[in-house]
Amino acid sequence: MNTVNRQVLTLDEYTIQQLRGIPGATGELSSLLRDIGLAAKRINVEVNKAGLVDILGDAGSINVQGEDVKKLDIYANNQLMGVLQHGISCAGIASEELDEFIAFDDEVSKNSKYVVLFDPLDGSGNIDVNISIGTIFGVYRRVTERGSKVTEEDILQPGVRQVAAGYIVYGSSTMLVYATRRGVNGFTLDPSIGEFCLSHPDIKCPEYGKIYSVNHGNFFKYTHGVREYINNCQKKTKEDGGPYTQRYIGSMVADVHRNLLKGGIFMYPGLADKPGGKLRLLYECNPFAFIVEVAGGKATDGTQRILDIHPTELHQRSPLFIGSKGMMNELETYMMKEK
Ligand code: AHG
Ligand code: MN
Ligand code: MN
Ligand code: MN
């Protein structure tokens, strides 16, 4: 007879346990993660019934990035904004869907420790066709005095200053993965109890993988070095770590999540007509760069470490190369030749 002796740790239990042994820990980060987990559960409910209700389609406006905004983007944005404003840990936010950052002005928020930058719904072009989408967030300690409203200085910090970052992937299961400097952990939503349960403790990104993820449709807009590297991926044989497989969902949350677990490289290079590429430094590149680095991988914009970039604008874009350390090192040899 099988004896099942399993202890399931929920996200809340886990974050509270982590506090033990950290001198001076106030529980504010745990509380923040719980707030984000709550918003994620609400977003998940809507994402799951997206095919059923008339919430689909464009909301009729164009966001600051010049892209059509889907209704679920706005719903997700509002849920995150709501929980963060009403919680006790967040003093201000910036979102892909908002033109300006928001400095909360109630007393509790003004006295809070963190700011959160997020992409409420990533890959939203995939909603209509029932493909995985996600939410991405990065958490920074504010640099201005508590008690005052946050300023641009709190929002425009380099990614290296993140204290935590994470994402939720609304896939065949819904998962929340978050990183602090201590490690990366994944929690799968158990819909029967409505809790995120620790399912992937201490995630490490394999040093080598066989997956490369890039939009081949843009091939001729990439620089010479990137094209050479892609050709190299296609030529890999058993002898040099191949053959590789190309996988590109078009939702970076799902693409990077898969590569984080299995080993691989994800690229959104600069394009001839858009040297910054498509992805946003603050909401997409920085959180993933933090998570993947904590897991043992690497992330660059082709020339420098993503986390070292000093942002100058809220919605600035950056090329992104991210994934397994060994594969990133090989990519760098191609990017070097470009200089
Ligand atoms: P968003 O839906 O938040 O605007 O971002 C979508 C992003 C990213 O998830 C994905 O990797 C990329 O866009 C795909 O872009 P292409 O279709 O240009 O490859
Ligand atoms: Mn968008
Ligand atoms: Mn996005
Ligand atoms: Mn988005």
* Ligand 4 midpoint to CA 131 (Å): 14
* Ligand 2 midpoint to CA 22 (Å): 37
Query: Is the pLDDT assigned to residue 278 strictly greater than 50?
Result: yes
At residue 121, φ and ψ (nearest 5 deg) are -140, 115
C-beta neighbour count of 207 within 10 angstroms: 14
Ligand 1 atom nearest 123 alpha carbon: 2
At residue 296, φ and ψ (nearest 5 deg) are 105, 0
Ligand with the closest atom to the CA of 284? 3
Q: Which of 164, 211, 192 has the alpha carbon at shortest distance from 34?
A: 164
Q: What is the mean pLDDT of residues 289-304?
A: 98
At residue 102, φ and ψ (nearest 5 deg) are -120, 125
Residue recorded with tokens 């529980």: 27
Ligand 1 atom nearest 133 alpha carbon: 9
Query: Is the pLDDT assigned to residue 5 strictly greater than 50?
Result: no
pLDDT in tens, 91-129: 999 999 999 999 999 999 999 999 999 999 999 888 888
Mutate to test the pocket of ligand 1, among 65, 278, 320 (most ligand atoms within 8 A of CB): 278
* Ligand 2 midpoint to CA 301 (Å): 20
Rounded alpha-carbon distances, angstroms, from residue 325 to 205, 209, 228: 8, 9, 19
Please name the residue whose Cα sits nearest to atom 17 of ligand 1: 250
Binding residues for Mg(2+): 96, 119, 121-122, 284
Ligand 1 atom nearest 126 alpha carbon: 2
* Ligand 4 midpoint to CA 334 (Å): 31
Compute the half-sphere exposure of residue 328: CA atoms within 13 Å on the CB side of its CA.
28
Lowest mean pLDDT among 22-31, 95-104, 165-174: 22-31
- d(CA 52, CA 49) in angstroms, rounded, equals 5
- d(CA 100, CA 86) in angstroms, rounded, equals 19
* Ligand 4 midpoint to CA 22 (Å): 34
Average predicted confidence (pLDDT) for the chain:
93
Ligand 4 ion: residues within 5 Å (CB): 96, 119, 121-122
pTM for this model (two decimals) = 0.94
pLDDT band at 24 (very low <50, low <70, confident <90, very high): confident
Q: What is the three-class DSSP state of 280?
A: strand
Hey, which bits of the chain come out as E strands?
A: 58-62, 68-70, 90-95, 102-103, 114-122, 133-141, 162-170, 174-180, 183-190, 195-200, 211-213, 245-246, 264-268, 298-300, 320-323
Check: complex ipTM more than 0.90: yes
Q: What is the pLDDT of residue 54?
A: 55
Residues near ligand 1 with C-beta < 6 Å? 67, 96, 119, 122-125, 215, 250-252, 278
Ligand with the closest atom to the CA of 120? 4
Q: What is the pLDDT of residue 194?
A: 95
Strand partners, 195: 190
CA max distance for the chain? 64
Query: Is the pLDDT assigned to residue 292 strictly greater than 80?
Result: yes
Please name the residue whose Cα sits nearest to atom 6 of ligand 1: 123
- d(CA 157, CA 149) in angstroms, rounded, equals 16
Q: What is the pLDDT of residue 59?
A: 60
pLDDT in tens, 210-254: 999 999 999 999 999 999 999 999 999 999 999 999 999 999 999
Ligand 1 atom nearest 121 alpha carbon: 3
Helix axes 71-86, 28-48, angle to 10 degrees: 150
Q: Which two tokens stand for residue 339?
A: 């200089």
Binding residues: 96, 119, 121-122, 215, 248, 278, 284
* Ligand 2 midpoint to CA 337 (Å): 33
Mutate to test the pocket of ligand 1, among 67, 68, 122, 282 (most ligand atoms within 8 A of CB): 122
Mutate to test the pocket of ligand 1, among 251, 281, 284, 317 (most ligand atoms within 8 A of CB): 251
pLDDT band at 309 (very low <50, low <70, confident <90, very high): very high
Q: Which two tokens stand for residue 191?
A: 């819909």
Hey, which bits of 49-89 come out as E strands?
A: 58-62, 68-70
* Ligand 1 midpoint to CA 250 (Å): 6
Q: What is the pLDDT of residue 25?
A: 82
